[in-house]
Amino acid sequence: MCKRAICAGSFDPPTDGHLNIVARGLKVFDKLVVAVAVNTTKKSIFTPEERVEMLKEIFRGRENVEVDSFEGLLVDYARRKGIHTILRGLRTVGDYEYESQMALANKTLDPEIEILYMMTEGKYAHLSSSIIKEIITFGGSGCGMIHPTVEKRLKQKLLKVT
């Protein structure tokens, strides 16, 4: 039996912390679906299609990683995919508080779903998509924080660099 999980998020942009959770998740699961959530309440830098494209480029050649997007409830998406496990990364206590509320709501919506948390490695605990966007906006380097593909695309979007 293939052990599969969904690692969902906005990934706007994907950080090295996100990539680390996926890499470590693949030590536990045979296959991960990296699912870009289409969130209409957040103002995004990248379209969902652009985020999927970036992630596909980053994970090119990884047969055990599927990149997809979804709109609506995560539990409904998981049900459509036939996957019963959600992998979530945690950086801070604030993340835990938010994620525990979401987990309880998701368990109410689908008692069959299981949510597993993985603590972010310390060197990534300070990373957030918001911080990355600010660093790039002010001319800083994303080295050690984001994949070079993501940095290039962020500079194109935020700094109009070609």
Q: CA neighbours within 13 Å on the CB side: how many for 68?
A: 16
Q: How many residues does the chain have?
A: 162
pTM, to two decimals = 0.92
Q: What is the pLDDT of residue 1?
A: 59
> Tell me: the pLDDT tens digits for 23-75?
999 999 999 999 999 976 778 899 999 999 999 999 999 999 999 999 999 99
Query: If DSSP codes are grouped into helix, strand and coil, which group holds residue 141?
Result: coil
Q: What percent of the chain is predicted at pLDDT more than 70?
A: 98
Q: Are 153 and 160 in contact (CB under 8 A)?
A: no
Q: What is the pLDDT of residue 162?
A: 67
Please report the domains of the chain, with CATH numbers, ordered by start residue: 4-124 (3.40.50.620)
Residue with structure tokens 């599927």? 66
Q: What is the rounded CA–CA span in Å between residue 57 and residue 52? A: 9
CB atoms within 10 A of CB 150: 27
**pLDDT averaged over the chain?**
93
Report, as residue numbers or ranges, the catalytic residues. Answer: 18, 42, 91, 129
